[in-house]
Structure 1
Amino acid sequence: MSNLRGEQSFPKAARTALADTQMRHNVGHATRSIRAKRAAAVAECPDWEQLRLAGSALKQDVLARLPELLEQLERKVTERGGTVHWARDAGEANRIVTDLIRGTGADEVVKVKSMATQEIGLNEHLEAQGITAIETDLAELIVQLGDDWPSHILVPAIHRNRAEIRDIFTRRMPDAGELTDDPHVLAMAARRYLRTKFLSARVAVSGANFGVAETGTLAVVESEGNGRMCLTLPQTLITVMGIEKVIPTFADLEVFMQLLPRSSTAERMNPYTSMWTGVYPGDGPQDFHLVLLDNGRTRVLADPVGRAALHCIRCSACLNVCPVYERTGGHAYGSVYPGPIGAILSPQLTGISGHDDPNASLPYASSLCGACFDACPVRIDIPSILVHLRAEIVDADRGGMPSVQDVAMKAAEWVMESPRRFSLAEKAVPAVRLLPTFPPWTRSRDLPEPPAESFRKWWSQR
């Protein structure tokens, strides 16, 4: 998976992010606004909890018979004139897409916003091969022109304000003219810039929110119309889809089309929902390719607890309610999947080679408050998976030298085994504050003030 931070762990990256006051202001303001709008949209839906249960049940069914559904999807896409490719990992997927583009003679492609292509680092791979990939989603375009990294699943440029976006457009769009930081002015500049790209592109690359096994239909949902331009104008369309995005029947879309817009953009329905089934002669792309991406998903599926992370429909609701994400932003996670879902999905997809692996810090990069579970439209129990992954990391390190935490827990166990030792420890608590502070603990929190009187002392006097 494409990694944004190199070899830097979350704690180190988070300390850098916490010092960026402008980023914290931008992210905090945006997430609070999205959170409030989503709450209002959900409150309008009287059967919201029933929809969540239905979405969760459908995802469980998909994972229970994934091979069968994928084979059915392949068969239906092929019957309708499309070509299906299977990619075991990022390298294989990138090679497939590159060869398909080269086969058309094109050296430039337009792209629909896609987490899967970000996951495999497709843009960077294409650039190395002399092919320019142009992001057409406004937020993705801002990130791309700013030589930046996405920081949010739904709103990749959430860490940027209007003045920063104006500066980026002024630098990278020489024909844009005089720009202000008015959102309408900036949006129109982006539309003019992209219009010529849409009309000249021969190849488009997209992701897919859903793939219907029953009919071979692919679906992309977006809010700007740029996706529809990419999906209809070019001659060749290449779609990269994670294998977990398949759903059994067309009727199942009804559930997700209610859950997704309310949880992501806080809307009753999605502004642009594009669906296509293979190739239609004389209408739309005449050469369609579907790349089914594994890239660690089969490994995640083998974990009875962790596999629930594959239920994710990329709505970003968990990010907007997470206190850790709000304070550190998305870049600190070092992955295209930030926030609570990234804390469980990223380390599972890439694997954790040891305690020193930067991914080993991600399961600790989210609190266990449960707000993410309450917000998740498909009821992914993120806190339980976090605990599960933390236990795996601790168990993997059992063969090495005990950590400071291990020693502290063993000491606490010894003290608590004996009422007498526990009583003596209570009496010694006030003296603890006179000792030198413990940096790993006090770096981000204060030692609690000990009570003036312990419960045992209160009980003995009364």
Structure 2
Amino acid sequence: MGASAFTQRAHDALADPNLKTAIDRTTGTAETKRAAAVGAFPEFQAARARGAAIKDHVIANLDHYLVEFERNAQAAGAHVHWARDKAEAAEIVTRICKDADAKLVTRAKSMLGEEIGLPHALDDAGIERVETDLAEHIIQLAHERPSHIIWPAMHRTREDVATLFFKDHHPPPDADDPASMVASARRILREKFMSADVGISGANFLIADTGATCTVTNEGNAELSTTPPRVHIVTAGIEKLVPSTDHAMALLRLLVRSATGGEVTQYTTFHSGPKRPGDADGPEEMHIVLVDNGRSRMVGDEFRQMLRCIRCGACMNHCVVYRQIGGHAYGGTYPGPMGAVLTPVLDGLAQSRDLPHACTMNGRCEEVCPVQIPLKTLLKAWRVRSWDSQQEVGPLRMGLGLWGFAARRPRLYHFGTRLALPVMRLFGKGGWIRRMPFAGGWTDTRDLPKPAARSFMSQHANHGNEGPK
């Protein structure tokens, strides 16, 4: 983390043509499919408003629903654990695994697990960990972190995946086409599913009035991770609560359309306690670890609306910055606009102040958020905090000070604009500026549009709102 580290990571990402290709393939498809799904759902805007209202109600009554969920989960036979921070959460999970004498653990995709550092905690405890989501399996083989909350291996091309599978799968895939590689992963993982001692999952929703947890997947790996093992562990943030199954279904209509452009996923599973007498299968023990890690602090400040987030990933699929630099450049668990808001909460503003600034403020993330989170406003709030706490230092603070001085003096500002335009045009060629003094931060990785001969204000003064005749 850190400002200079972010700058270097972003620079490296912009210089990687394969990364741009991989991101464009996935985000472009996701954007198109989401638009089609929303277009076919006339009630989408009303559903967004209802989704935001459900989440706001839970946030305002979080203490009540936490107590209700714990009571009902315990009544169903689950053990409920409380974790104040990520270290305590990881310790609880590893302790449960050790108490179960676990040698092999299967894990379904969970960004909360990434947030608390669970993969590293299990590895450090000497417990074999197998990531069962296909994309997470790729990430594990590559020894990387997820770059997207829905498609963790988005930054990897099919050719990259083929190289990994031919190196690490024994026997290797029959061919390098997608079907052959999926079949190879299925062969490798099937044995692990059936021999695991503990299965770990996240939860998309926690149902307060039943004590059930809900997982949403497209591969069925979560079900195979949680049903055959003797012990099932759920890790979930406390903001995942909803009052009832009906409320979960209302949010599912938003989640799936926004995440994958579908109406419903292949697998939506509710887990309510361990196996009961007469059940054909299921775990003998179920543990639910409820994680705070800064969330209760958010309830009391201007970032409480971020607790609405249902982790669909739509904001990053439509973010012009994310689509240029990918997820790893952000440095934290959560990338994109939602990550730029959450990471300062989780890791501290001093370590991540560049993230709120890595935004053009175009507002596309707000437009597509299924629960109407005002992401642009929250990012601006972090910028204000960063400025007020004197974290903007050196050339940046001086440059903003000079700009502010000129902006408060319109005549000076317009004079500077009139002076700058002809100078900038001297460096233009073919409608673009590819090199210009003091603009290397931009032109090193992309061209700058050649400016018009006259400024907007100058043209507006002559033509007004009607434009040129």
Structure 1 and Structure 2 fold alike (TM over 0.5): yes
CA distance change for structure 1 residues 195 and 364 in 2, over 3 Å: closer, same or farther? same
1:196-235, CA deviations, whole angstroms, 9 ceiling, x for partnerless residues? 1111112111110000111101000000111111221111
* Matching residue within 56, 61, 80 for 2:52: 56
Q: What is aligned with 1:455?
A: 458
Q: What is aligned with 2:18?
A: 22
Distance 1:128 1:281 in 2: 34
Q: What is aligned with 1:132?
A: 128
Deviates more, 1:329-338 or 1:439-448: 439-448
Q: What is aligned with 1:275?
A: 270
Distance 1:418 1:311 in 2: 41
Report how far residue 9 of structure 1 moved: 3.1
Q: What is aligned with 1:168?
A: 164
Report how far residue 301 of structure 1 moved: 2.0
CA distance change for structure 1 residues 439 and 247 in 2, over 3 Å: closer, same or farther? same
Task: Report the secondary structure of 2:321's partner residue.
Answer: helix
Q: What is aligned with 1:301?
A: 299
Task: Report the secondary structure of 1:175's partner residue.
Answer: coil
- Residues 3, 353 of structure 2: 8 Å contact kept: no
Counterparts of residues 49-448 of structure 1 (less than 5 Å): 49-176=45-172, 178-282=173-277, 283=279, 284-304=282-302, 306-352=303-349, 354=350, 357=351, 359-397=352-390, 403-415=394-406, 421=412, 425=416, 428-429=419-420, 437=438, 446=448
Identical positions, percent: 38
Report how far residue 321 of structure 1 moved: 0.9
Distance 1:345 1:158 in 2: 21
Task: Report the secondary structure of 1:240's partner residue.
Answer: strand
- Residues 322, 339 of structure 1: 8 Å contact kept: yes
Report how far residue 328 of structure 1 moved: 0.8
Task: Report the secondary structure of 1:133's partner residue.
Answer: strand
Aligned residues: 447
Distance 1:225 1:450 in 2: 55
Report how far residue 162 of structure 1 moved: 1.8
Task: Report the secondary structure of 2:353's partner residue.
Answer: helix
- Residues 10, 365 of structure 1: 8 Å contact kept: no
- Residues 300, 349 of structure 1: 8 Å contact kept: no
Distance 2:295 2:387 in 1: 23
Amino acid across the alignment from 1:437: F
Report how far residue 417 of structure 1 moved: 5.2
- Residues 108, 201 of structure 1: 8 Å contact kept: yes
Distance 1:65 1:381 in 2: 21
- Residues 296, 350 of structure 1: 8 Å contact kept: no
Report how far residue 449 of structure 1 moved: 4.0
Report how far residue 340 of structure 1 moved: 1.1
Distance 2:411 2:42 in 1: 56
Distance 1:343 1:118 in 2: 16
Distance 1:367 1:92 in 2: 37
Point out 4+ residue stretches in structure 1 off by more than 6 angstroms: 456-459
Report how far residue 10 of structure 1 moved: 2.4
Report how far residue 192 of structure 1 moved: 0.9
Report how far residue 335 of structure 1 moved: 1.8
- Residues 208, 240 of structure 1: 8 Å contact kept: yes
Report how far residue 302 of structure 1 moved: 2.2
Report how far residue 195 of structure 1 moved: 0.8
Distance 1:288 1:308 in 2: 31
- Unaligned ranges ≥5, structure 1: none
Task: Report the secondary structure of 2:88's partner residue.
Answer: helix
Distance 1:326 1:370 in 2: 15
- Residues 216, 277 of structure 1: 8 Å contact kept: yes
- Residues 422, 453 of structure 2: 8 Å contact kept: no
* Matching residue within 34, 38, 41 for 1:42: 38
Report how far residue 68 of structure 1 moved: 1.1
Task: Report the secondary structure of 2:265's partner residue.
Answer: coil
Distance 1:6 1:407 in 2: 20
- Residues 103, 197 of structure 2: 8 Å contact kept: no
Amino acid across the alignment from 1:329: G
- Residues 106, 203 of structure 1: 8 Å contact kept: yes
1:73-107, CA deviations, whole angstroms, 9 ceiling, x for partnerless residues? 11111111111110011111111111100111112
Task: Report the secondary structure of 1:29's partner residue.
Answer: helix
Report how far residue 448 of structure 1 moved: 6.1
CA distance change for structure 1 residues 179 and 420 in 2, over 3 Å: closer, same or farther? closer
